[in-house]
Copies of this chain bind each other. A is one copy, B any other.
Amino acid sequence: MKERPKYKIVFIGAGNIATHLSFALQQSGCSILQVYSKTELSASILGKKLQVPYSTSFSDIDVNADVYIFSVKDSVLEDCIKEMPAVKGICIHTAGSVPLSVFNGYTNRAGVLYPLQTFSKNRKISFDEIPIFIETSNIKDEDLLYELSYLISKNVTVLSSDKRKYLHLSAVFACNFVNHIYELVSQVLEEQNLFFDYLLPLIKETAAKIEEMSPHEAQTGPAVRCDNSTIQRHIELLTDENKKKIYEMLSQSIYSLRINM
């Protein structure tokens, strides 16, 4: 068995993605040299978890790493890149919606490693099945980043920034908007003293169904049946204007996809 490359890695950022990704890479045999966060508490928590040193200043960044992974909020990413000292290793970020070109002018060894998943701090996640999308500013680093990604997931794809932004947009719909609908539902049920947990098998099955059939085929409910009397009764049951508007708009959208076929 070929020995896996043991990359030396510094993490810039200590949030949800940094936490999950650094842990997965460490478990896969990589050496995490250091964790940087401007927030000492975050830096120390992740440093302790990984049992590696942490830093809160860019002047202390270990310059001997092979890979620097910037996993910070999109809004501060460019500022972090600016403050970063000159290094020989490749600098990559993990943001779906930020183009590779954010590194332009700062390094000629840049890359992106975008794991398409939702990460929560207190929830364990297995990277095995997570699709990872990579991009590099030069082809040699593509091999390096592919190998690094392949250590934690067998689902690695090279993809341009232009395409990646559509994946990120899709993830907002499929994760953030879907979760928000769960939240609206939880409010409806709470008002009626009904348990949200009653819905869990339905939610699970709704997500599982589309592994076998297209969402178009899987669509059920009053809107796809043009059952206007049920739709009207539902809108009357809702107690706030926001939910009424969302119900109407999504029902109309479901219906319009059928008549326009």
Residues of A within 8 A of B (CB): 73-75, 97, 116-120, 122-123, 125, 129-131, 157, 163, 165-186, 188-189, 192, 194, 196, 198-216, 218-225, 227, 229-230, 233-234, 237-238, 242, 245-247, 249-250, 253-254, 256-257
Contact = CB atoms under 8 A, between A and B. Distances in A.
A199 B172 contact: no
Contacts of A224: 176
A85 B74 CA distance: 67
Contacts of A225: 73
Contacts of A177: 181, 246-247, 250, 254
Given A189-B166, A227-B75, A246-B253, A210 B219 contact: no
Contacts of A169: 188, 234, 237-238
A177 to B, nearest CB: 5
In the A-B complex, the 9 residue pairs with the closest CB atoms: A176-B221, A183-B215, A182-B215, A207-B207, A175-B206, A166-B192, A173-B185, A170-B185, A177-B250
A129 to B, nearest CB: 5
A185 B97 CA distance: 16
10 contacts: A74-B229, A116-B202, A118-B205, A123-B212, A170-B188, A174-B185, A175-B203, A183-B257, A184-B253, A186-B215
Interface centre among A183, A209, A233, A234 (most CB of B within 10 A): A183
The oligomer's copy count stands at 2
Nearest to A188: B170
Given A179-B215, A199-B116, A207-B204, A230 B192 contact: no
A237 B229 CA distance: 36
A225 B16 CA distance: 14
Given A173-B188, A246-B249, 18 more contacts: A73-B225, A75-B227, A97-B230, A116-B201, A117-B202, A117-B205, A171-B202, A174-B202, A176-B222, A178-B203, A179-B219, A180-B250, A182-B210, A183-B214, A183-B215, A196-B215, A200-B210, A207-B207
